Amino acid sequence: MKPTTEHLASLTQKVVHHLESIYASAPRQPDSAALADTLLRIMRLDEHCEQLQPSNSAWSERDIAVITYGDTLLADSEAPLSTLHRFLNAYLHDTINTVHILPFFPFCSDDGFAVIDYYQVNPKLGDWPHIQALAADYRLMADLVINHCSTSSTWFQNFINGRGYGHDYFYTASPNTNLSDVVRPRTSPLLRETETANGTQYVWCTFSHEQADLDFGNTAVLQEFVKIIRHYLDNGVRIFRLDAVAFLWKKLGTNCLNLPETHEVVRLIRTLIEHSCADAVIITETNLPNRENLSYFGNGNEAHSIYNFSLPPLLLNTLVTGNCRYLKQWLMSMPPAQNGTFYFNFIASHDGIGLRPAEGLLSEAEIASLISTMQQFGGQVSWRSGDNGTKRPYEINIALFDALQGTTKGKDAFGIERFVCAHAIMLALEGIPAFYMHSLLATGNDYPRFESTGQNRAINRHQWDYPSLTAALNDAQNHHHQVFERLKALVRIRQQQPAFHPNATQFTLHISDQLFGFWRQSMDRRQSIFCIYNVSDEPHSLLLSNLNLIVTDDWRDLISGQRYDDPMMDRIDIAPYQTLWITNRHVTEQAV
């Protein structure tokens, strides 16, 4: 609707406040009122402004996401985005409603995260009509690669030439500056020496020398990204993943990580996006220690959602050691998501299994043991620069299916059961679950791709020949088919349970180190689900009396259909890696 004069004035003042906070100590002080008017015009908020929805009304237990590259599935004579769309409609239309297509723009490196042109679709994938078609059938999530862009971009070439559009978009520093406190996710030199029309410049490169960091101290950069946001909204994007946003603001003499200005930029982006489209969501991608990651919720006024980065390494450690102690300790410490926010749960992604989010949660000895186990299963290790130039492990690069083929004792016969158990945990936790496409498909390590590219992350970025994939998924004897169908069956059960709403109550259970459990309760308190998982390779038993089930309710397992007639006396034998979802409200029952 068209905003009233009073509403527009209130929104303008809110944006002015954001801008004054962001640029309070910037060397170039903008006219905040004029800049606010410009941003509102770019977003067309002076013409149309939506009413914000009540908290938690924009998501439910039915929300399931899949994460994929645009060219994960390839078919002859077809744009990869069309192939992806065809696969989603044929195999996942009743399973997922959200698709995160990893950067689908022209790029020079890092599999899309060194963006050359934010306004174009990579022609090797398709074009904007393909994106719009996907957005018409699924809630579309896209990356806002906001910290850096490609050194092959027109902006950077204009920087070298010293003139033209975008020539002043990049952050530079003197090589004589003490930058030892700057936190890095890589081991390459921070500054890239670049010859320009204005002499030798040293460009800040948090990630690689093909990814030049942008200078948000220049308000023209902020305006550019607001234009990009508007462009994405116009093409159907409804979920914005703020890539590497923790590194956004630079201030010499600090670690340049999670600075107050960065948090205020996130708050500004949220204000602009949610008033432009009430059901739009921003998710921060901050691969950091747990407490730092949680800070991006702000006071319920920053990200609508954060990636639950500590879950993958802790869950992996749990399942390869057969001990849930550290996972349980972490879960007990996690605050419920505030009103209007939710956790984005994932256990595998296009990147590796991050180890920074395990800092303070696992000891260095435990991390070293986890790394050693993953290396036995074909995994690689990527490194970052630590304090005083030391090299520290940053992530483990491995396909999750191969990561869970055994334990610290070695490979065993429980790989599929362990893999399904991991996803059953993710599906039941507070938040919205997201499957990496290769986890849904039970894809293993791609050694040829890793060797041909020389990139550790390529091991988990396989490209499927579409006919080969469909043949595998239609073969009941194939492990790809077996895993795919079992995961889909779990999703169908989850989607019917009010107690699995992303914001439904959750409490951690204290059973044993081998039996991991938590309790979920629907927001109307009518349904309870006790989620119990044997995370070990040995059978264990559980007395139902330990769960304090209400004896007058009719309890049964949603997965197996098993009924428990005497919850005070029944003892359950739980097989290795078996999952139980014991409920008093039987919305659906389907064996997996």
What tens digit of pLDDT does each residue of 90-146 get? Answer: 999 999 999 999 999 999 988 999 999 999 999 999 999 999 999 999 999 999 999
Q: Give CA–CA dist 29/36, Å, rounded.
A: 13
Q: Are 190 and 174 in contact (CB under 8 A)?
A: no
- Indicate the SS3 state at residue 275: helix
Say whether 565 is catalytic: no
Tell me which residue of 312, 328, 348 sits closest to 514, measured CA to CA.
Answer: 328
Q: Mind listing the pLDDT tens digit for each residue in 392-411?
A: 899 999 999 999 999 999 99
The answer to whether residues 76 and 468 touch, using CB atoms and an 8 Å cutoff, is no
Q: What is the model's pLDDT at position 388?
A: 65
* pLDDT recorded at residue 590: 45
Residue pointed to by tokens 């490196």: 109
Q: Which residues are annotated as a binding site?
A: 110, 148, 241-243, 350-351, 457
Is the dihedral angle over the CA atoms 295, 300, 301, 305 positive or is it negative? positive
Identify the residue with better confidence: 180 or 346.
Answer: 346
- Residue 321 CA to residue 421 CA, distance in Å, equals 14
For the chain, the distance separating the N- and C-terminal CA atoms, rounded to the nearest angstrom, is 47
Domains within the chain, CATH numbers bracketed: 148-213 (3.90.400.10), 505-583 (2.60.40.1180)
Catalytic-role residue among 71, 243, 446, 537: 243
Q: Can you give the pLDDT at residue 592?
A: 44
Residue type, position 205, single letter: C
Tell me: pLDDT of 420 over 80: yes
- Count each helix (H run) and each strand (E run) in the chain, helices first: 17, 27
SS percent in the chain: helix, strand, coil, step 5: 35, 20, 45
Strand-pair partners of 269? none
Q: Are 354 and 312 in contact (CB under 8 A)?
A: yes
- Residue 385: per-residue pLDDT: 78
If one counts every other C-beta atom within 10 angstroms of the C-beta of residue 492, the result is 15
Q: If we measure between CA atoms, which residue out of 177, 175, 326 comes closest to residue 252?
A: 177
pTM: 0.96
SS3 (DSSP) at 42: helix
Residue 435's DSSP bridge partners are: 66
CA 587 vs CA 167, 254, 492, 582: distances in Å: 59, 53, 11, 12
pLDDT one-digit tens code per residue, 234-261 = 999 999 999 999 999 999 999 999 999 9
- Nearest Cα residue to 519 out of 507, 510, 511, 527: 507
What mean pLDDT is predicted for residues 55-60? 77
Window from 36-40, 451-455, 565-569 with minimum mean pLDDT: 565-569
Q: Residue 1: is its pLDDT beyond 80?
A: no
CA separation for the pair 314, 357 (Å, rounded): 9
Q: For residue 129, what are its two tokens?
A: 């009509």
The per-residue pLDDT for 53 is: 65
Contact by Cβ (8 Å): 563, 589? no
Concatenate the DSSP letters of all residues of 426-454 into one string. Answer: HHHSSSEEEEEHHHHTT----HHHHHHH-
Residues flagged as binding site for substrate: 110, 148, 241-243, 350-351, 457
> What pLDDT does 48 receive?
87
Q: Is the pLDDT of residue 591 over 60?
A: no
Whether the CB-CB separation of 376 and 370 falls below 8 Å is answered with no
Strands 432-436 and 65-68: parallel
Q: Which helix (H) or strand (E) holds 191?
A: strand 191-196
